[in-house]
Structure 1
Amino acid sequence: MSLRSAVLVAGFVVAALNLRPAIAGVSPLLDEIMDDVGLSPAGGGAITTVMVICLGVFGPVAPLLARRIGLDRTLLAGLLVIAAGVALRGLDGAPMLYLGSALAATAIAAMNVAMPAVVKQHFPSRINLMTGVYVAAVVAGAATASAVMIPVEHATGYGWRGVSALLAVPALLAALLWLPQALAKQAGPQNGPRPIGMVLRSRVTWYVTALMGLQSLTFYVVLAWLPTIFLDHGLPADQAGYLLSLTNLVQVAASLAVPVLAGRRASQVPYVVGAGVLTVIGYLGVLLAPLTVPWLWMIVLGIGQGASFALALLIIALRPADPATVTALSAVAQSVGYVIAALGPMLFGLLREVSGGWSVPLIAVLGVLMVQILAGWFAGRPATLGKANL
């Protein structure tokens, strides 16, 4: 591998590592944030909800930026804005907390949409492998953030604000590594993404969008509330954080393996359905026996959710005929999908408040998973999304 290729891969991987810490880093510190800022459970869940809403609302920014400045410069801009956002939310006051979170999430939204197209543009002959690497890096970033936030807080004595602001450092490192790609000559408008309106006419788009949104909803419920569920059942904060980290680490392995295997087949239906069933089993374990082998439930949940996320992104990269259509499909699927997902953490918190326990919200998530499996059945079937069938 040449130095140029090595820098490309390194920059791509480190950029992907930055796509979840700004969100995943909130959950282990949520109780402390709520006490410090004076938030209710619904207000605490709203931190993640605000971020996921931004992932949906601002996803269409990516095709516009990519057309004007290119995919690579869009990615660089996103990394710099993430750094600014996590630094801002470390300032005093609830408005800064929500504003900084929203700013970071807006950047992540643009990067989420751009990354599958970057895979198709820079790695056209290795889409399966690099999709797996990409998703694994995203999940690894979430797992690392979940695991280290409390230990770093204890080691530095900075408190949740200072520790949150430290997340700007890896974003700036990724920006430095990606700088050579951003400085290279960008593709002209003729190679830019097609208008999203053309993609909207395909049924494939809506199957993929439903899969993306529903699997994201169940993922962000785990990310926002899983440590709190275990805390309420008597586990210490560090152990609750480690369990969240465990399920995220398992997702790394699933994310690496599943796209390589599923991408070899014309149909991804068996993999999508199997991933959904495993996610159901993991949630059932948390519902029925949260303190009985919780590590097992986290492993099963991690395999299911990691595979579901990887498959959704793999399908986004495989179905379109070219990188331009990938960007358009990615914008629709991730924008609408994350708006759906944004309801998860907030409604989960509201159901917790209304019911006074965790059973009702967990049963509601199991219902969502049934619909996710059905959507995955249709999204996983062979199809080509391109100019001929838009």
Structure 2
Amino acid sequence: MGTRPAPITPARARSAMLLASLLLIAMNFRAPITGVAPILTQLQEAFALTPAQAGLLTTLPLLAFGIVSPFASLLARAYGLERTLFASLLLIAAGIVLRSTGAAWSLFAGTIILGTGIALGNVLLPGLLKREFPHRIARLTGACALSMGIAAAAMSAGAVPLAVAAGWQAALGASVLLPLVAGTAWLSQLSSRTAPAAVAAAPQGGPVWRSALAWQVTLFIGTNSLLYYVVVAWLPTMPTSAGVPADMAGSLHGVMQLATAVPGLLLGTLLGRMKDQKLVAAAMSALLGLSLAGFALWPMAASLWAACFGFASGGVFILALVFMGLRTTSPQQAASLSGMAQCAGYLLAAGGPTLAGALHDWAGNWSTVLWIGALLSLLMAACGVLAGRARTIGMAGVPATA
């Protein structure tokens, strides 16, 4: 005789609805940005944008991430975490609509607004996961990463066909469905009004901003973000300029975004069995650098390099989340490291797309940009190996257990 399934209680139903809502919310954190790059050529033609100007469409959200992130907890403390997260979805939806209206100023203003909304959500979602599902954080973080990757891949793959069928405005505006669906699902949570846990001064190690280990983690994450958003901004353009057919280049974003989600399904169990993470950090950095060199040397295998780059960058993202816990000695210190890494890391990455476009204008090719990126992956590997040692901030000689 089989066991009877557990009855569906109101608490279980609420938990399932909350989890589904959080996964829907996570879908908003990449797709509105990554869906721009496949139609960047159309946008450049429509508004007569230079490569450097077009790079701003990826740079502006990153600036918003770096500037707004430190204030997310303050807003949640003042207005409630649930309401602030709902407001972030409204900002994302408003920004998507505004940038799709057809004017040059609205293209950039809408990008800033949706970036502000994503920044708020990026900070608040992990806190909700920790509060509501304290014993399933690693698994649900992987589920959220998978959710982000699937949505980003769908928007990237569908952007060009939609632009051909209905114009670039429809291609940009289609992602508004994501915040509308997530916001509708989140309405049931607005009766709650809770604030995130207060962040105290980091114990035993002083402020994380003065910690060498914290800077190693931040540079590891920031270099990955820099390279990721350069590739997100220019991926279809770079292989096309090397002779890759436009229809193939347009699908590369979808391939890359799906690949970023795969490490979330694999690395969690592996990392928990290792005494440190140096080898994984070095391997992910090496694979990322190899993929950038591959784009320069063998562009006709762009699908392979896009998959390798996505897998490596996604692996670094998962490692970053792991470092937030393993390299700190308390939840308060972890929050401080998270805020530092997100603020400094995204500000570091913000100049990447525009700088890459300007470097292309100066050099006359994308190979120079790709080789510089490959060299930067060596810096990321060095920081990753240092950050991957079994140590904690303020207690550098004490191993960190997984």
Q: What is the TM-score when the length of structure 1 is the normalising length?
A: 0.91
Q: Residues 111 and 298 (structure 1 numbering): CA distance in 2 closer, same or farther, change over 3 Å?
A: same
Contact 2:83 2:193 in 1 (8 A): no
Q: Deviations over 1:327-367 (max 9, x none)?
A: 43222211110011112111111111101111211111112
The equivalent of 2:371 in structure 1 is 363
Q: Name the SS for the 2:244 alignment partner.
A: coil
- Larger radius of gyration, structure 1 or 2? 2
Q: Name the SS for the 1:61 alignment partner.
A: helix
Q: Which amino acid aligns with 1:380?
A: G
The equivalent of 1:90 in structure 2 is 100
Q: Residues 316 and 111 (structure 1 numbering): CA distance in 2 closer, same or farther, change over 3 Å?
A: farther
Contact 2:219 2:380 in 1 (8 A): yes
2: CA distance, partners of 1:198 / 1:72? 29
1: CA distance, partners of 2:201 / 2:33? 30
1: CA distance, partners of 2:322 / 2:80? 22
Q: Deviations over 1:133-186 (max 9, x none)?
A: 12222222221211111222334x1x2123312222211211222233342241
Deviates more, 1:339-348 or 1:374-383: 374-383
Equivalent residue runs for 1:209-224 within 5 Å:
209-224=218-233
The equivalent of 1:115 in structure 2 is 125
Equivalent residue runs for 1:154-233 within 5 Å:
154-155=164-165, 157=166, 159-187=167-195, 191-194=197-200, 198-233=207-242
Query: Shift of the alpha carbon at 1:31?
Result: 0.4
Q: What is the TM-score when the length of structure 2 is the normalising length?
A: 0.88
The equivalent of 1:282 in structure 2 is 291
Q: Name the SS for the 2:109 alignment partner.
A: helix
Match status 1:313 vs 2:324? no
Match status 1:137 vs 2:147? yes
Match status 1:303 vs 2:304? no
Q: Name the SS for the 2:236 alignment partner.
A: helix
The count of residues paired between Structure 1 and Structure 2 equals 384
1: CA distance, partners of 2:278 / 2:77? 33
Match status 1:333 vs 2:345? no
Contact 1:50 1:342 in 2 (8 A): yes
2: CA distance, partners of 1:17 / 1:317? 24
2: CA distance, partners of 1:114 / 1:382? 28
Match status 1:74 vs 2:84? yes
- Name stretches of at least 5 consecutive residues in structure 1 with no aligned partner: none
Contact 1:218 1:365 in 2 (8 A): yes
The equivalent of 1:272 in structure 2 is 281
2: CA distance, partners of 1:45 / 1:176? 33
Give the alignment partner of residue 20 of structure 2, picking from 10, 27, 31. Answer: 10
Equivalent residue runs for 1:1-80 within 5 Å:
2-80=12-90
Q: Residues 20 and 319 (structure 1 numbering): CA distance in 2 closer, same or farther, change over 3 Å?
A: same
Q: Name the SS for the 1:166 alignment partner.
A: helix
2: CA distance, partners of 1:338 / 1:227? 23
2: CA distance, partners of 1:15 / 1:119? 12
Match status 1:147 vs 2:147? no
Q: Deviations over 1:8-67 (max 9, x none)?
A: 111111111110111101101100001101101111112111221211121112121233
2: CA distance, partners of 1:121 / 1:323? 12
Contact 1:55 1:338 in 2 (8 A): yes
Q: Name the SS for the 1:173 alignment partner.
A: helix
Contact 2:57 2:108 in 1 (8 A): yes
2: CA distance, partners of 1:380 / 1:47? 33
2: CA distance, partners of 1:265 / 1:182? 41
Query: Shift of the alpha carbon at 1:384?
Result: 4.5
Contact 1:263 1:314 in 2 (8 A): no
Q: Give the superposed CA RMSD.
A: 2.4
2: CA distance, partners of 1:332 / 1:179? 31
Give the alignment partner of residue 345 of structure 1, picking from 350, 353, 370. Answer: 353
2: CA distance, partners of 1:59 / 1:249? 26
Q: Name the SS for the 1:245 alignment partner.
A: helix
Deviates more, 1:246-255 or 1:32-41: 246-255
Q: Residues 260 and 130 (structure 1 numbering): CA distance in 2 closer, same or farther, change over 3 Å?
A: farther
Q: Name the SS for the 1:229 alignment partner.
A: helix
2: CA distance, partners of 1:181 / 1:381? 40
